[in-house]
Amino acid sequence: MKQEMVAMILAGGRGSRLKDLTSRVAKPAVSFGGKYRIIDFPLSNCANSGIDVVGVLTQYESVLLGSYVAGGRSWGLDTRGGGVYVLPPREKADSDLDVYRGTADAITQNIDFIDSYDPDYILVLSGDHIYKMNYSDMLQAHKKAGADATIAVIGVPKKEASRFGIMNTDETGRITEFEEKPANPKSNLASMGIYIFTWKKLRALLVKDKTDAASQHDFGKNIIPTMLKAGSKLIAYQFRGYWKDVGTIDSLWEANMDLLGHRNELNLADGSWIIYSEDAVEMPQFIGQDAKINVAYITQGCRVNGEVDHSVLFTNTLVRGKAKIVDTVLMPDTVVDEDAVVTRALVAPGVHIGKGAKVGRKDSSSILLVAHDVREGETL
């Protein structure tokens, strides 16, 4: 069935900067914000933008991610003709089993999948950002400009601009230059890793890139520079709103902490742009007789009888009496026993923190990742 635009989510990366959090799951499957996983954001954005077909390009530890997104029902993406398709590298009649050698190669290897929907446009997303965005507005801008490619950009503080891929544009918004992590940035428009391509144009480029031995088959390093050199029309689409790369433990922790602000910018309570997720069958959260809660984001299935201060508690966490959780993220199924104190930490799923343990420090320069059980009385 023909689709105007098909979305492809690049979800193959291991996300090794997330250390032990991604030792068993791919980065897009990492938990976020109490009840979500990172990939819920692009998938929900697709659903809310009226995109029916989403390909999820997986490579690293894709079993959990695959079973999580399969079918797409949690996001309402299970319409007839639509769906969420998990696309690991495949052996084909004309090629052997291969890995995805780069972001562009992941798309190249799925040209047959994309062609089966005969789309006019293709939306390429990454699976590691937290944001809410209407891709259909971006498509309107792409069509209006008659662009070959449209790249979503966000204004970042000038002093941080050298950490990003920066787009230099003319006064009409046309991209004149792309600089990856420039030492002296000329603008503050950072690429969000969100691209819309006119499919015919991109398809031709990908076919050519496939056999280019010098290419790393990467959108940022090869495809975009090639298009600029060839004089293709590339447009910057400026996004305003909350956007966060959660590629490191510190930034993942920070993005969770951002939810504690009453009327925070991401606003997950907004009923007009819901972020959908897998349905949990746990009972509502139970706040016990001795609980003390001051500024917290707590979800279904949690049981709290201790003190929670400026922290985010994910599904099914248990905080026993007299335990103290400060400036901390407790991921699903964690247990904190009596008298334990956890400060400035990100506790990985299922970790058990024993009675009286002391974990993390108030003045630590970076966030402590707790990926293994902590014994009774232990200090970490």
Binding site for other proteins (CB under 8 A): 33-35, 73, 259, 262, 268-269, 274-277, 279, 281-300, 303, 312-313
Helix (H) or strand (E) holding 10: strand 5-11
Distance CA 125, CA 41 (A): 11
| 3-state SS, residue 207 | helix
Q: To the nearest whole angstrom, how small is the minimum distance from the Cβ of residue 350 to other proteins?
A: 14
Which lies closer to other proteins via its Cβ, residue 29 or residue 47?
47
Spacing of C-alpha 244 from chain mean position: 9
Q: To the nearest whole angstrom, how small is the minimum distance from the Cβ of residue 38 to other proteins?
A: 15
Q: To the nearest whole angstrom, how small is the minimum distance from the Cβ of residue 132 to other proteins?
A: 12
* Amino acid letter for position 270: D
Which lies closer to other proteins via its Cβ, residue 67 or residue 140?
67
Which lies closer to other proteins via its Cβ, residue 47 or residue 345?
47
Q: To the nearest whole angstrom, how small is the minimum distance from the Cβ of residue 73 to other proteins?
A: 8
Helix (H) or strand (E) holding 124: strand 121-126
Q: Tell the burial category of 8 from Cβ atoms under 10 Å away from its Cβ (0-12, 13-18, 19+).
A: buried
Which lies closer to other proteins via its Cβ, residue 130 or residue 224?
130
Q: Count other C-beta atoms under 10 Å from residue 264's C-beta.
A: 14
Which lies closer to other proteins via its Cβ, residue 255 or residue 298?
298
HSE, side-chain direction, 13 A CA sphere, residue 353: 35
Q: To the nearest whole angstrom, how small is the minimum distance from the Cβ of residue 321 to other proteins?
A: 12
Q: Which two tokens stand for residue 225?
A: 């520079």
